[in-house]
Chain A
Amino acid sequence: MKAADILACGLAEIAAHIRDGTVTSRAATEAVLAALEREGAHLGAVARLWPERAMAEAEARDRERAAGRLRGPLHGVPLAHKDMFYRKGELTECGSRLFRGFRPAVTATVLERLDAAGAIDVGRTHMVEVALGITGHNPWTGTPRNPWNRERLTGGSTSGGAASVAARLNFATLGSDTGGSIRVPAAFCNLVGIKPTYGRVSRAGCMPLSFTLDHIGPICRSSADCALMLRVIAGPDPRDPTTGAEPVPDYPAALAEDLRGERILALVGGLGCEPEPAVHHRFEEACRIFDELGAELRRAAFPDGEPLNVLRRVIGMVEPAALHREHVLSRRADFNPHTLARMEPGFAIEAGVYARALAARAGWLERICRELLEEADLLILPTTVTAPPPIAETDTGGDARFVALANRLTACVAPFNYLGLPAASVPMGFDGEGLPLGLQIVGRPFAEARVLRACHAFERATGHGRRVPPVAAVPTA
């Protein structure tokens, strides 16, 4: 198989090819490394690659397969991840000057699980500084370019990872999501990304930003790929005491069921931010599609959605400020203005205010589950109220306009970080300029199987996710 054909495969597809021997791990790894080096540089997506180790591992996986031994469902599949997942002794710089030269002493649980499943870790992709930012801007490493339009933002903070998967340089990537950092880049790059339930996936060995709001999950080209990757990385971990004991379902198997009778609540308004006309139009179209798929669709406004964003902002400012206090005191010039603008109020918020925001979390979860998720199985709403904005116009250096943009981009996604509910973004179509838009699907705690099933059904009905962007390592359809 030619390199372009290999790169056109999704995660599940390439894993099947390597398993049945139609593609070697060596060929897949060579193709990914070459594409990341060439097109990855063009998009400003790649932080570093480990070609020697990756090729040695690929050859080892091929030998194992020849001897009849398969490590797991990702045997021999090369993957590059966001530059914040620790691998013992390997450079991890978190998009930040503060982490220059940092070599962690531990390996992230999610990487250990991917290793055990047979995946090959080929390198790291660029990200927003310390993962604190939703736009994708990063003056230190350069701002990754959106493969759908190089002048547009990818969204952040999993910026380079999303660009690499969309451009068919990488089969899938691990992301983190503290206020939308998996779902917004997925939406802006026409991908599927899932932020699982708080505690579904271990955060041990991942750069922390906010211990209350951080979630780890995959960004892929399809829901089936997300299901496969989530199945590998999810589950209890003694190294992360917030992980739940709930058994991990067979997510790929769950995709087979249809949506007949599924109760879906379409949320229209209530989050203090009105969608642009193109988003509104595509969302109405999405509602019609769910209706045609046999779901029982109802509409409602989000009840008091704005307070959830207020409470999340308090926690999302105080916890990063607490983590980075010493850095801000001693190395302020090493932070970029975008990061400081988002973090600085956290130093001025009183302890009592933070404690109230934290203590209210359980009550809000109960209320949202009671008011919305008792009579509905799933919620749907746009992932963002706008298409990917232009990079240059929005690079206003962390001023009030930048903060307002960040609040606007997170308005529909961040409440689910505070609530800790599973939420995925799936391609919803394109605006008049051909820019991707995302649909968000949300479920009860630990309902990732249901969320992914709805994503999968929607994806198959629309085909939006199959479109290839203009900048890609494979021919554009």
Chain B
Amino acid sequence: MRDSTDDSAKDAVPIRPGARRTARELARMVDRVTRDLPFGSEPADYLVVRDRLAERGPETGR
């Protein structure tokens, strides 16, 4: 992941043009697919949602 505060050449990982192209394409796609999602959610919320949606029941899972 690019660190915008660190421009020193010695610390930069060399990246081939194809990889940069892939990164740009993915960034465009992520913008598109997350446009309508509610923000303000934190990654930790995932565990809360997972536990809320958990299948519960007797031991067999029914």
Contacts and interface: CB of A to CB of B under 8 A. Distances in A.
Contact of B45 (A311, A318, A341, A362): A362
Contact of B22 (A245, A345, A443): A345
A34 B12 CA distance: 48
A143 B56 CA distance: 42
Contacts of B34: 311, 356-357, 359-360
Contacts of A362: 41, 43, 45-46, 48-50
Given A310-B33, A314-B26, A350-B1, A244 B50 contact: yes
Contact of B51 (A246, A344, A346, A361): A246
Given A359-B39, A363-B37, A345 B60 contact: no
A452 B4 CA distance: 46
A447 B37 CA distance: 26
A446 B54 contact: yes
A359 B42 contact: yes
Interface in B12-55: 13-16, 18-20, 22-24, 26-27, 29-34, 37-39, 41-43, 45-51, 53-55
Interface residues of B, number: 44
A257 B59 contact: no
Contacts of B46: 198, 361-362, 365, 420
A351 B42 CA distance: 14
B33 A311 contact: yes
A369 to B, nearest CB: 5
B55 A444 contact: yes
A349 B1 contact: yes
Nearest to B13: A347
Interface stretch (A61-69, A247-255, A463-471): A247-255
A450 B43 contact: no
Contacts of A357: 30, 34
Given A253-B60, A254-B61, A357-B34, A447 B16 contact: no
Contacts of B42: 359
Contact of A351 (B1, B20, B24): B1
Closest 9 pairs between A and B when the two form their complex, measured CB to CB: A449-B61, A307-B33, A348-B23, A344-B19, A447-B55, A254-B60, A345-B22, A362-B49, A444-B55
21 contacts: A245-B51, A246-B54, A253-B60, A257-B62, A311-B33, A313-B26, A322-B1, A344-B16, A344-B19, A345-B22, A351-B4, A353-B30, A353-B31, A357-B34, A359-B39, A361-B46, A362-B41, A362-B46, A420-B46, A445-B51, A450-B55
